[in-house]
Structure formats: C-alpha cells, structure tokens
Amino acid sequence: MKSFLMRSLMMLVLFSTHFVYAAPNLEINTPAINALKHSMQTRHNQLAPHYNSGAVGLTNNGMVAVRDAKAVPLKDRQGINGLVAAENADRSKLYKEIAVANSHPEWEAGIRDSFAGRWIDKAQSGWYFQSASGWTKK
Amino acid sequence: MKRNAVVLLLVGLLAACVTINIYFPAAAAQEVADEIINEVWQIKEDEAAKKPEEKEPGSKDTESKGSAETDTAESK
C-alpha cells in the first residue's frame, strides 16, 4: 500500500510539471512574427488617416476593409485597395504564424478571433468597426 | 491489483494532459493580441490600461446594468 501511494505521488509530481508547461503562455518571439509586426507598424502610418476618415474600418474577423472609398481623395483611391490587401495579407500571416509558432496550427481561428476583439477594443474613437448591426463608429 | 490502479492513474493523467494541451488558451491569446496591437498601433501601456474604462455610450454593458442584472447573474 505504501509503495502504491509513493508511486502515485511520484506520478503526480511527474505530471504536475506537465501542467506547468501547459500553462497558457503563447510564444510570439519568432523572426517571422517580428517581421510581420514591423511591416504592419510601418504601414499603420499610411492606414491611420483612413481609419480617421472612416474610409477603412475594422472587420469582425480581425481584418480591415474599405468602408467608404469616397472618403479617400480621388488620387489615393487606387492605392487604398493595395494598402488594405497588404495589411490583410500580413494579418492572416500573423495569426497563422502565432498558431504555428506554438505548434498548434489549428489555433489559427481562435487567435484570429482574439485579435478581432482586441483590435476593435483598442481602436481610437471615431474609427469604424463591424458590429452585429453593420459598420459602427466608435 | 495495485498495478492495475497505477496503470489506470497513468492513463487518466495522460488523458488529462492531452486535454489541457488541446484546449485553446484564450486568455493567453488575448494577452498576445494586446502586446502585438500595442506595438503595431504604438499604444503606450498606461494609455492602453485606461482605454477599457471609457466604454462607448450605449454599449450593451451599460444599458443592461439595471434591468438585466438577474439575467447576467444566471448566465454566469
């Protein structure tokens, strides 16, 4: 009986380390993720005026979309589509890279959802985001 | 008999570990999202901490405070 208890105890101690390792803490310090962050940070200077004017809004799936092209000066209208496409490509890659960096590619959708909520929470007032009732001004 | 019990314990614990690993760490994902968004949008930490307080007027949270209190308590 004693040895059984000892063995059970040992087993518990052994596995409790697993529990510690499994404690949620996501790895984001990889070259790919850092490069994406940097690229998005640089692009934000170009996107910010469009968030402010309402031309571009935050979608409910963690992306950005052209909301009102008329809010963009005619000469910039061509460029805005490319800007939005590039931003969305980076965002998709970012969600995927975080999932992959943590050895759980299937987490991509969950990560995307988490980001979607946080982008909107952190958006400046005056920016548009997609809510259940459509585009909403924050 | 003892052996069986140990094997059972082992299998049980192993299953528990696997379950935990598969679980999506939502809280950690939020933290990571905050960290990255703060960097991309150049939001300072103290500013970011202030933000959630100034919720937009007319958001569900503020409206449902009085009447739907029992509802939210139940759903928790």
| pLDDT < 70 regions, chain B | 1, 16-22, 45-76
Q: Write a three-state SS string for B15-43.
A: HHHHHHHHCCCHHHHHHHHHHHHHHHCCC
Q: State if pTM tops 0.80.
A: no
pLDDT tens, position by position, B9-30: 887 777 766 555 568 999 999 9
Distances (CA, A) of A52 to A16, A47, A78, B14, B62: 50, 9, 18, 52, 26
**What pLDDT, on a 0 to 100 scale, did the predictor assign at position B17?**
62
**What pLDDT, on a 0 to 100 scale, did the predictor assign at position A17?**
53
Interface residues of chain A, partner chain B, Cβ below 8 Å: 3-4, 7-8, 11-12, 15, 18-19, 22, 24-26, 28, 33, 37, 40-41, 44, 94, 98, 104, 107, 110-111, 114-115, 117-119, 121-122, 125, 138
**What pLDDT, on a 0 to 100 scale, did the predictor assign at position A11?**
65
Six-digit token string for A37: 């962050």
| pLDDT < 70 regions, chain A | 1-2, 4, 8-24
Q: Which residues of B22-35 are buried (b: 16+ CB within 10 A; e: fewer)?
A: eebbeebbbbbbbb
Sign of CA dihedral B65, B69, B75, B76: positive
User: How far is Cα A66 from Cα A85, in angstroms, rounded to an integer?
Assistant: 10
